[in-house]
């Protein structure tokens, strides 16, 4: 049975990687996921930056976005780990703490809104794993990828563990590996698989050299493991892996990794038979020719 969700796109997808949205709108209805636009939604706002400076402002803006979904009577669906971290965690805090909820609602009153706590927040990976299932994905695949994937989970998707019971082990999760292998790809083991990509928490913005050193270690680990591409479920991680490769070459003179980077919906689209241009794969900074040459 199909499920309908309020689609929260966030900032990076429409502004930097619209191909992820294009891919999602093509492939998700084919596996029973209907998307409804959240008109008027804003930045989530970012958990690693805004929350660090003002938790009340972070909660108020997050609650405003949740109110839009409440008016639609639909659970929120996001394709971004950071957006998921903000909206899911803010939703939990506001539902659990009456005083906090009253404080936020006093601010929302100024824009004619009230947070009721009537909807949930889901990450795409959770919906794919629990609602669609790897077997459901497998049935939708018409062109198995036949590639070796370095799967990157990302931080906000699996932690804090107390609020992410569905992920299983936060240290050694397997759900994204299972979803990847359902595409006819092999999920390789790589040394820095569970390490941060180096983008979040304001690190990429404030200390780019540290961010890129973290990225370089992950890229080297993926290359040494024989990966054909990096698979992620977060546009900010996607940006770090993709744009970061160009920055490593330009700023530090490193040899190009030429490592393709795909968001899961793009990989799913390729496995369903869509062309790379339909999925926005050609809008990535690196790896287009390499991944095309290796597809069956």
pLDDT value at residue 89:
97
Please name the residue that has the structure tokens 């160009």: 246
* 203 and 256, same domain (yes or no): yes
Domain assignment present for 132: no
* 110 and 160, same domain (yes or no): no
pLDDT value at residue 202:
80
* 148 and 278, same domain (yes or no): yes
Question: Are residues 216 and 138 in contact, defined by beta-carbon separation less than 8 angstroms?
Answer: no
Domain limit, last residue, from 97, 123, 149: 123
Q: What CATH number corresponds to the domain at position 272?
A: 3.40.50.11810
CA within 13 Å, CB half, 16: 14
CA-CA distance, 184 to 203, in Å (whole number)?
Answer: 35
Question: Are residues 125 and 157 in contact, defined by beta-carbon separation less than 8 angstroms?
Answer: yes
DSSP-assigned states of every residue in 88-150:
HHHHHHHHH-HHHHHHHHHHHGGGT--------EEEHHHHIIIII-HHHHHHH-SS----EEE
Q: What CATH number corresponds to the domain at position 37?
A: 1.20.1050.140
Q: Which domain holds residue 183?
A: 138-294
Whole-model pTM: value is 0.95
Reported for 106-109, long-range contacts at CB under 8 A and 24+ positions apart, including other chains, are 107/56, 107/60, 108/60, 108/63, 108/64, 108/67
Domain count, the chain: 2
- pLDDT value at 4 more than 50: yes
- pLDDT value at 292 more than 80: no
CA-CA distance, 47 to 61, in Å (whole number)?
Answer: 11
Contacts of 203 (CB under 8 A, 6+ apart): 210, 211, 214
pLDDT digits (tens, 9 = 90+) for 187-207: 999 999 999 999 987 888 889
Domain limit, last residue, from 123, 154, 179: 123
* 58 and 152, same domain (yes or no): no
- pLDDT value at 294 more than 80: no
Chain-centre distance of CA 19, in angstroms? 13
- pLDDT value at 286 more than 50: yes
CA-CA distance, 45 to 57, in Å (whole number)?
Answer: 9
Beta bridge partners of 232: 263
* 12 and 42, same domain (yes or no): yes
Nearest in space to 150 (alpha carbons), one of 112, 116, 194, 107: 194
* 67 and 188, same domain (yes or no): no
* 167 and 201, same domain (yes or no): yes
CB atoms within 10 A of CB 192: 18
Domain assignment present for 110: yes
* 168 and 219, same domain (yes or no): yes
Domain assignment present for 57: yes
Reported for 162-170, long-range contacts at CB under 8 A and 24+ positions apart, including other chains, are 163/88, 163/89, 163/92, 166/126, 166/129, 166/130
* 167 and 255, same domain (yes or no): yes
Nearest in space to 130 (alpha carbons), one of 85, 160, 175, 173: 175
The separation between the first and the last C-alpha atoms of the chain, rounded to the nearest angstrom, is: 31
Domain assignment present for 271: yes
Domain assignment present for 129: no
pLDDT digits (tens, 9 = 90+) for 70-106: 999 999 999 999 999 999 999 999 999 999 999 999 9
pLDDT value at residue 2:
67
User: Across residues 45-62, what is the average pLDDT?
Assistant: 91
Pairing of strands 76-78, 3-8: parallel
pLDDT value at residue 288:
75
- pLDDT value at 1 more than 50: no
Question: Are residues 282 and 20 in contact, defined by beta-carbon separation less than 8 angstroms?
Answer: no
Domain assignment present for 272: yes
Percent of the chain with pLDDT over 70: 99
Q: What is the mean pLDDT of the chain?
A: 94
pLDDT digits (tens, 9 = 90+) for 136-192: 999 999 999 999 999 999 999 999 888 898 888 888 999 999 999 999 999 999 999
Domain assignment present for 81: yes
Q: Is the peptide bond before 160 cis (omega within 30 degrees of 0)?
A: yes
* 208 and 104, same domain (yes or no): no
CA-CA distance, 101 to 49, in Å (whole number)?
Answer: 22
DSSP-assigned states of every residue in 197-253:
-S-TTTHHHH-HHHHHHHHHHHHHHHHHTT-SEEEES-HHHHHHHHHHHHHHHHHH-
- Per-residue pLDDT band at 121 (split at 50, 70, 90): very high
* 54 and 157, same domain (yes or no): no
Q: Which helix (H) or strand (E) holds 282?
A: none
Domain assignment present for 175: yes
Domain limit, last residue, from 71, 99, 123: 123
* 102 and 142, same domain (yes or no): no
């Amino acid at each position: 049975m199909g499920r309908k969700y309020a689609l929260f796109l966030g900032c990076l997808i429409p502004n930097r990687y619209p191909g992820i949205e294009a891919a999602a709108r093509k492939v998700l209805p084919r596996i029973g996921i209907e998307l409804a636009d959240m008109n008027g939604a804003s930045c989530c706002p970012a958990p690693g930056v805004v929350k660090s400076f003002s938790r009340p402002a972070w909660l108020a803006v997050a609650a405003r976005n949740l109110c839009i979904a409440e008016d639609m009577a639909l659970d929120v669906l996001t394709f971004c780990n950071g957006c998921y971290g903000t909206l899911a965690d803010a939703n939990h805090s506001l539902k659990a703490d009456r005083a906090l909820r009253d404080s936020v609602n006093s601010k929302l009153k100024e824009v004619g809104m009230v947070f009721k706590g009537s909807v949930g927040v889901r990450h795409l990976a959770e919906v794919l794993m629990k609602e669609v299932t790897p077997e459901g994905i497998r049935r939708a695949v018409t062109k198995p990828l036949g590639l070796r994937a370095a799967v990157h989970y990302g931080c906000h998707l699996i932690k804090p563990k107390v609020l992410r019971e569905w992920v299983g082990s936060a240290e050694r999760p397997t759900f994204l590996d299972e979803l990847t292998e359902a595409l006819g790809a092999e999920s390789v083991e790589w040394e820095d698989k569970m390490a941060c990509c180096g983008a979040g928490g304001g690190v990429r913005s404030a200390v780019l050299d540290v961010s890129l050193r973290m990225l370089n270690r992950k890229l080297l680990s993926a290359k040494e493991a024989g990966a054909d591409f990096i698979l992620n479920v977060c546009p900010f991680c996607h940006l770090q892996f993709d744009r970061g490769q160009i920055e490593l070459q330009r700023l530090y003179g490193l040899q190009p990794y030429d490592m393709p980077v795909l968001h899961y919906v793009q990989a799913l689209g390729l496995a369903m038979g869509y062309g790379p241009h339909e999925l926005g794969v050609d809008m990535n900074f690196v790896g287009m020719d390499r991944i095309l040459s290796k597809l069956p």
